[in-house]
């Protein structure tokens, strides 16, 4: 079970580096993995995360044109929906992985599904890359540099702990110690039949 988590770490780190070869939110993704594979979905997952990280930076520019900001907000909304849809697809992969496991009578539940844990792992890789950028800056005070070094150390510790905990979670599923249940997000604000602002305009 550790293999898929280690693979996720490797692919996430690769995708972050690949994005920063151009460091442009409009750069088309060049996914090196075959469509329909878990590797493809993991790479795409991190690409979405790193692009959205930069979109969130851009929209916080105090000088941004309001019209451009609104268009960017719509793009971020779509990115969030794409992210959710992809996480749920990755959860289907894990559900298939454990579909023949018979849960033990006292099997416990987990607060989040495996793919949502993987989602946090992906975002953590993006954080680490950008905190490393801050550590490498030469135009900051010693105090700010030291603060960033401390934060980076914490992020690396968190990466190690998350890698271990997700691996342990998957092992628990395989043993039937925990039972996997997936609840779809059922986001309402993007659904024209459920968002009052949207269906009220018809």
Q: What is the pLDDT of residues 74-131, one digit of tens each?
A: 999 999 999 999 999 999 999 999 999 999 999 999 989 999 999 999 999 999 999 9
Is residue 114 within 8 A of residue 179, CB to CB? The reply is: no
Is residue 178 within 8 A of residue 169, CB to CB? The reply is: yes
pLDDT value, residue 178: 95
Tell me the two tokens of residue 133: 């950028």
* DSSP letter for each residue of 31-78: --S-TTSHHHHHHHHHHHHHHHHHHHHHHT-TT--HHHHHHHHHHHHH
pLDDT at 169 over 60: yes
pLDDT value, residue 182: 77
Q: Judge whether 125 lies within some domain.
A: yes
Number of domains the chain is built from: 1
pLDDT at 201 over 70: no
Q: Judge whether 163 lies within some domain.
A: yes
Percent of the chain with pLDDT over 90: 87
The model carries a pTM of 0.91
Q: How many CB atoms lie within 10 A of CB 187?
A: 14
Q: Judge whether 197 lies within some domain.
A: no
pLDDT at 202 over 60: no
Q: Judge whether 201 lies within some domain.
A: no
Mean local confidence (pLDDT), 1-12:
90
Band the pLDDT of 199: cuts 50, 70, 90. confident
Q: Render pLDDT for 41-76 as a digit per residue (tens, 0 to 9).
A: 999 999 999 999 999 999 999 999 999 999 999 999
Which domain covers residue 40, as residue numbers?
Answer: 2-191
Tell me the two tokens of residue 46: 């991190």
pLDDT at 194 over 90: no
Label residue 42 exposed, middle or buried (CB < 10 Å: 0-12, 13-18, 19+). buried
Q: Render pLDDT for 170-181 as a digit per residue (tens, 0 to 9).
A: 999 999 999 988
* DSSP letter for each residue of 109-166: P-SS-HHHHHHHHHHHHHHHHHHHHHHH-SSS-HHHHHHHHHHHHHHHHHHHHHHHHH
Q: Judge whether 199 lies within some domain.
A: no
Q: Judge whether 127 lies within some domain.
A: yes
């Amino acid at each position: 079970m550790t293999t898929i988590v280690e693979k996720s770490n490797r692919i996430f780190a690769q995708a972050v580096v690949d994005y920063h070869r151009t460091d442009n939110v409009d750069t088309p993704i060049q996914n090196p993995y075959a469509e329909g594979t878990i590797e493809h979905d993991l790479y795409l997952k991190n690409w979405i995360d790193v692009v959205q990280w930069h979109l969130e930076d851009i929209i916080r520019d105090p000088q941004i044109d309001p019209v451009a900001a609104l268009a960017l907000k719509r793009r971020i909304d779509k990115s969030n929906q794409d992210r959710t849809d992809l996480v749920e697809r990755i959860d289907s992969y894990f559900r298939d992985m454990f579909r023949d496991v018979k849960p033990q009578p006292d099997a416990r539940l987990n607060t989040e599904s495996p793919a949502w844990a993987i989602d946090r792992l992906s975002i953590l890789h993006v954080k680490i890359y950008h905190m490393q950028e801050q550590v490498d800056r030469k135009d900051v005070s010693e105090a700010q540099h030291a603060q960033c070094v401390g934060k980076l150390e914490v992020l690396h510790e968190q990466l190690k702990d998350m890698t271990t905990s997700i691996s342990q979670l998957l092992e628990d599923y395989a043993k039937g110690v925990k039972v996997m249940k997936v609840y779809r997000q059922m986001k309402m604000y993007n659904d024209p039949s459920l968002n009052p602002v949207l269906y009220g305009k018809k």
